[in-house]
């Protein structure tokens, strides 16, 4: 199996659509890249969403690795501004509670987890650790499948994954969940 470091994108602008990273987000991503370089990662993958690809570009600048994009790393639901933020947040909460609920314009929690798991399965023959920049919702969806809700860190379902937190998965074995120690 391949050890995969699932990296939450860095801090982003607070706007709908496909927002860019903030200056803090770029700093977080650069520090994460420095940490990943020491782990010996051999490839960097990213969600096609801008906040993730900008994070991956910062990782690549430090590690010297090329960035590859894969749509399976995208978030399960993205606020595009077509609906009020409160409506989006209500839809997000509903899909968190009911993992089979498919929201308009997105995936159910189970579909998102299966999509990310398919990405990880594809990497199985790849040599060496891999960094994959993704999003907190889909990472949490995968963790819910792999370890169950009762083994998630307190508050993860409510507060989400912090910017540039790293979750490490080796096959279906979870090694680390939403660690920000490298940012200290």
Q: What is the pLDDT along the chain (184 residues), one digit of tens a residue?
A: 689 999 999 999 999 989 999 999 999 999 999 999 999 999 999 999 999 999 999 999 999 999 999 999 999 999 998 999 999 999 999 999 999 999 998 999 999 999 999 999 888 666 779 999 999 999 999 999 999 999 999 999 989 999 999 999 998 899 999 999 999 9
Pairing outcome for strands 43-46 and 130-134: parallel
DSSP annotation of 87: H
Enumerate the active-site residues. 9, 75
Identify the pLDDT of residue 123. 83
Residue 125's pLDDT is what? 66
Structure-token pair, residue 171 = 């096959």
pLDDT value of position 2: 87
Within the chain, what is the greatest distance between any pair of CA atoms? 44
Is the domain spanning 3-80+113-183 CATH 3.40.50.1240? The answer is: yes
Q: Where do the structural domains in the chain lie, given as residue ranges?
A: 3-80+113-183
- Are 176 and 167 in contact, with CB atoms under 8 Å apart? yes
**pTM reported for the whole predicted model:** 0.96
Burial of 15 from C-beta contacts in 10 A (0-12 / 13-18 / 19+): exposed
């Amino acid at each position: 199996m391949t050890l995969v470091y699932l990296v939450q994108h860095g801090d982003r602008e607070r706007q709908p659509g496909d927002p860019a990273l903030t200056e803090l987000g770029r700093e977080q991503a650069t520090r994460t890249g420095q940490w990943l370089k020491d782990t010996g990662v051999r490839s960097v993958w990213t969600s096609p969403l801008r906040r993730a690809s900008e994070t991956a570009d910062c990782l690549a600048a430090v590690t010297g690795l090329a960035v590859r994009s894969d749509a399976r790393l995208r978030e399960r639901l993205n606020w595009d501004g077509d609906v009020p933020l409160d409506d989006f947040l209500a839809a997000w909460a509903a899909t968190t509670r009911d993992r089979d609920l498919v929201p308009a314009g997105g995936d159910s929690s189970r579909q998102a987890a299966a999509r990310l798991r398919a990405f990880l399965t594809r990497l199985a023959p790849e040599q060496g650790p891999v960094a994959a920049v993704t999003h907190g919702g889909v990472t949490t969806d995968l963790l819910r499948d792999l370890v169950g809700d009762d083994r998630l860190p307190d508050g993860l379902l409510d507060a989400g994954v912090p910017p540039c937190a790293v979750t490490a998965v080796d096959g279906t074995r979870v090694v680390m969940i939403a660690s920000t120690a490298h940012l200290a």
